[in-house]
């Protein structure tokens, strides 16, 4: 059993880190065995083996895609006890990292009570901001647990104003980006650099989910989008999936009415994506993403025409957009592809 648990945790850890789904576990006898073992261990009044229960819960969460409410409650409660440990030694940090990584697997499909477990995660985040006692992966996973609880207006307000999600995301992306050599391919990197790259990818996915749900405006968005533009530029040669994730975020931001249009124009996102158009190897996904961004901007400008009070500001913003489009004949490119784009969008 000890060897089986070690193997399943090891496989599960890397599946989650690399965003690989495993559907073979569902409906298997092994899943039923784990469910029975977890419930039986939880029921024990005396001689409960807490370490075994934690290991079982982590294995189960890493491998499973579907959870009953009963199993969900047992696993989350059990892992939060581990995640709340505050000792700074390496062994405890690893235990906390594994527990938080498992907790980050619960996405918005699992609608346990909105306020359930949030206080504990917020305590973990605030404690780290004060003492820096978590690993980078553990910290990102704690944020992912919160982001997966959105949309939730009161939670979003706390994340922005008390936990400072934008500021922390900028800092983490900046520090992680400078810790890797983007000119190397993944197979050329050492273990530490590869892990940092996977954490960057997880941060970007989480930020994308945040922008999809967010309803509050924050001026720090400009800095975060500019940081993502930097990541886009350095990742496009060797880490195409990361650059595509950045494009998806720019599309999401362009379409999110809570995010001001000036944010995109003040940030370096548009310039970064336009730069890709003139590269010898044109990426289809990035080209399409650029059309989506400008299409969303165009729609929003038309919406603002209806509000006379915004007319002057709308015209100023429109002029900025046209300047971007007219640079080096880009307006002609948009016109020539306009009908193709409209057909594709249908």
The pair of structure tokens assigned to 74 is: 């047992």
Q: Which two tokens stand for residue 119?
A: 């206080």
Burial of 174 (0-12, 13-18, 19+ CB in 10 A): middle
Distance (Å, whole) CA 1 – CA 33? 12
Tell if the pTM clears 0.75, that is, is over it. yes
133: its two tokens: 């006692």
Confidence (pLDDT) at 337: 53
**Residue 190, SS3 per DSSP:** coil
**Are residues 183 and 233 in contact, defined by beta-carbon separation less than 8 angstroms?**
no
Residue 190 main-chain phi, psi, to 5 deg:
-80, 175
- Tokens encoding 243: 């650059």
Burial of 68 (0-12, 13-18, 19+ CB in 10 A): exposed
Within 8 A by CB and 6+ apart from 137, the residues are 17, 97, 100, 101, 195, 199, 202
How far is 31 from 193, CA to CA, in rounded Å? 34
Cα separations in angstroms, 300 against 92, 94, 295: 49, 46, 9
d(C-alpha 166, C-alpha 332), whole Å: 36
Output the six-digit token pair for 318.
């429109």
Return the H-helix or E-strand segment holding 38: helix 29-43
φ and ψ at 95, to 5 degrees?
A: -60, -45
Give the H or E element holding residue 223. helix 221-235
DSSP 55-79: HHHHHHHHH-S---HHHHHHHHHHH
Q: Which of 124, 227, 119 is nearest to 171 (CA)?
A: 227
State the Cα–Cα distance between residues 265 and 313, nearest whole angstrom. Answer: 13
Q: Which pLDDT value is given to residue 209?
A: 93
Q: What is the pLDDT of residue 138?
A: 97
Collapsing DSSP states into helix, strand and coil, what is residue 108? coil
| pLDDT in the model for residue 111 | 54
The pLDDT of residue 253 is: 92
Which regions in the chain score pLDDT beneath 70?
Answer: 108-115, 281-282, 305-315, 318, 321-322, 324-346
The first and second tokens of residue 160, run together, are 């922005």
């Amino acid at each position: 059993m000890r060897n089986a648990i070690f193997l399943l945790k090891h496989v599960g850890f890397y599946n989650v880190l690399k965003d690989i789904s495993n559907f073979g576990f569902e409906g298997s006898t092994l899943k039923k065995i784990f469910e029975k073992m977890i419930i039986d261990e939880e029921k024990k009044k005396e001689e409960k083996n807490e370490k075994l229960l934690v290991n079982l819960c982590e294995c189960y969460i890493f491998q499973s895609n579907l959870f009953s409410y009963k199993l969900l409650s047992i696993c989350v409660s059990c892992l939060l006890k581990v995640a709340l440990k505050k000792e700074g030694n390496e062994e405890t940090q690893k235990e906390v990292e594994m527990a938080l990584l498992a907790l980050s697997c619960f996405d918005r499909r699992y609608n346990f009570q909105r306020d359930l477990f949030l206080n504990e995660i917020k305590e973990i985040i605030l404690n780290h901001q004060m003492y820096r006692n978590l690993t980078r992966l553990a910290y990102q996973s704690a944020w992912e647990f919160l982001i997966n609880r959105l949309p939730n207006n009161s939670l979003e307000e706390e994340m922005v104003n008390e936990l400072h999600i934008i500021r922390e995301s900028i800092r983490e992306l900046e520090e992680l980006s400078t810790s890797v050599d983007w000119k190397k391919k993944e197979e050329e990197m050492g273990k530490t650099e590869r892990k940092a790259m996977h954490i960057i990818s997880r941060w970007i996915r989480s930020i994308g989910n945040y922008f999809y749900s967010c309803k509050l405006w924050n001026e720090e968005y400009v800095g975060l989008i500019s940081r993502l533009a930097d990541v886009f530029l350095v990742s496009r040669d060797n880490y195409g999936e990361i650059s595509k994730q950045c494009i998806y975020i720019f599309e999401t931001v362009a379409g999110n009415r809570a995010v001001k249009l000036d944010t995109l124009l003040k940030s370096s996102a548009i310039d970064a994506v336009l730069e890709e158009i003139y590269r010898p190897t044109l990426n289809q996904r990035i080209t399409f993403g650029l059309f989506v961004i400008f299409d969303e901007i165009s729609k929003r400008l038309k919406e603002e025409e209806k509000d006379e009070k915004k007319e002057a500001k709308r015209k100023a913003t429109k002029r900025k957009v046209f300047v971007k489009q007219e640079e080096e004949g880009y307006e002609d490119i948009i016109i020539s592809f306009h009908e193709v784009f409209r057909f594709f969008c249908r």
